[in-house]
Amino acid sequence: MGRLSVSLCGISLDNPIIPASGCFGYGYEFAEIYDINCLGSFSFKGTTLSPRVGNPTPRIAEARAGLLNAVGLQNPGVDAVITQELPRLREVFHKPVIANVSGFSIDEYVSVCAKLDAQPEIGWLEVNVSCPNVHGGGMSFGVEPQSAAAVTRAVKAVTKKPVILKLSPNVSDIVSIARACEEAGADALSLINTLLSMRIDLNTRRPLLANITGGLSGPAVFPLALRMVWQVSQAVSIPVIGLGGVSSAEDVVEMMLAGAAAVEIGSANLVDPLICPKILQSLPAVMDRYGIENLKDIIGGAHG
């Protein structure tokens, strides 16, 4: 095992760098640019039971230190993912991959997770109860402990692989939701998803996004994400994956010191498609600068 290696739910990763769902497609798009097997893993595009065309355009808007998206979980549906996307993914990525799952009812979450759990290339199921860009699903399951726990229990009943609950920052008490998911059987947690936000076009005097609101990501959200990772990792005993505005090796180290066992990188991939290999290349020098021998030794190290 190398200096960068970590473990996530008992599965070894060569390093903690994981491109986040929605910012990396199904992997093969980025495989045209670099060998994505350098990554620890990646979380593929959010998958639902039925195909979704997503929200109307425009559904991307810039902000000073990030971007807003209201894509709306556009995807071909779980059956097409299994028959079309996973075979292509298998050709370019030879490690366990994270399947990101969304739903509009508990039954949908269960159906999608059961189908994906049976696929050999999938190592973990990341259950998204935090998407702010769809109506009647996603975030509605993750805004209070009981509903998040209900999804967790239902999914755990039909799966054998580790289940990661992806949590929303758009709540008053993320710790109580995290604890409820852990008690319901979650194997890990990932946080944070995007922050519900909006922009207005001064010329038209109308919202920039057709959906009116969207999820804010990028460097602007990093301090808030770091705070929530700190709080949640102290409150639970299961692994926490940190994400939100990560765009440098220093950010990765900071997230891990706050308690993250692994780190997802989202919208930075859209700004610079080579951001993940660049971070990996610079991590050893950053570790040397701060006297870090092995990354796994610093997880939660800032807690004292």
Domains of the chain: 6-303 (3.20.20.70)
pLDDT at 131: 61
* Interacting residues of 212 by C-beta distance below 8 A, sequence separation 6+: 198
pLDDT-flagged residues of the chain (< 70)? 1, 131-140
Q: How many degrees, rounded to 5, is the angle at CA 157 between CA 154 and CA 161?
A: 110
Separation of alpha carbons 278 and 290, rounded Å = 19
Active site residue 131: yes
The answer for residues whose C-beta is within 8 angstroms of residue 2's C-beta and 6 or more apart is: 14, 15
Which residue is catalytic, options 23, 113, 131, 276? 131
Give pTM, 2 decimals.
Answer: 0.95
Quick one: tokens of 240? 């926490």
pLDDT at 304: 80
Residue 133: predicted pLDDT: 47
Q: How far apart are CA 230 and CA 300, in angstroms?
A: 8
